[in-house]
Amino acid sequence: MTRSIILMRTTTQLTSYSSLIHKGDHIIGIYPNKEIELDLAFEFLKDGLQRNETVMLVTEALSKTEIRKKMKTIFKVDVDKLEAENDIIIKTTKEWYFPDGSFTANKIRDQWSNLIDYSNKNGRNNLRVFEDTSSFFKHGFARELVHYESTLGQKFSFSNTAICGYLYEEIDTLTSKQFRTLQECHNLVWF
């Protein structure tokens, strides 16, 4: 499978590359700081809403109140209504990945499958997710994260498109083998 590596630093660049994003893409985004990461996350999710996709943001970088406020400004939609209808989903990393303090890849894959089925039954044609991975590093789950990512493959076989967001400083803590594994298990690599 061909993998594209793209240097991207601005939301304008994301807009111009949105045509490269397809259902099933498993993308790794590596960012110099949290501000750029989140700016691109909101643009990626906005594009998903415009494509009739359920969108999900998984992060602990902002409070849910701050996220909703930014979404209202950027998306220009009724975020509260769409969130109540599960067309917009906001989760902390802890809520989604390790609510009981542990991380189990099989349990997470089941959660994704159930969420995608629910989204499809509610008339959305895809689930678009931006996942901020910083909490994995903060809570000591970097090794488990790399293993989990490697089990997902470069492309999803179900209706899901995801960007896994990493910061440069987090990537620098990985071994070269772990970083290679991350590159190999994503079909698009964005720096």
Each of the 191 residues of the chain gets a pLDDT tens digit; together they read 445 554 445 545 545 567 788 899 999 999 999 999 999 999 999 999 999 999 999 999 999 999 999 999 999 999 999 999 999 999 999 999 988 888 888 889 889 989 999 888 888 889 999 999 999 999 999 999 999 999 998 998 888 999 999 999 999 999 999 999 999 999 988 77
The pLDDT value given to residue 50: 93
The pLDDT value given to residue 157: 81
The pLDDT value given to residue 125: 86
The pLDDT value given to residue 105: 85
Residue with tokens 């689930």: 127
Token digits of residue 131:
């996942």
Beta strands in 8-141 (DSSP E): 26-31, 54-58, 88-91, 127-132
The pLDDT value given to residue 17: 61
Beta strands in 37-114 (DSSP E): 54-58, 88-91
**Sign of the alpha-carbon torsion through 67, 37, 135, 151:** positive
Closest CA to 140 of 94, 179, 107, 187: 94
Element (H, E) at 146: helix 142-152
The pLDDT value given to residue 2: 47
Q: Which are the contacts of 109, defined by CB distance < 8 A and separation ≥ 6?
A: 151, 152
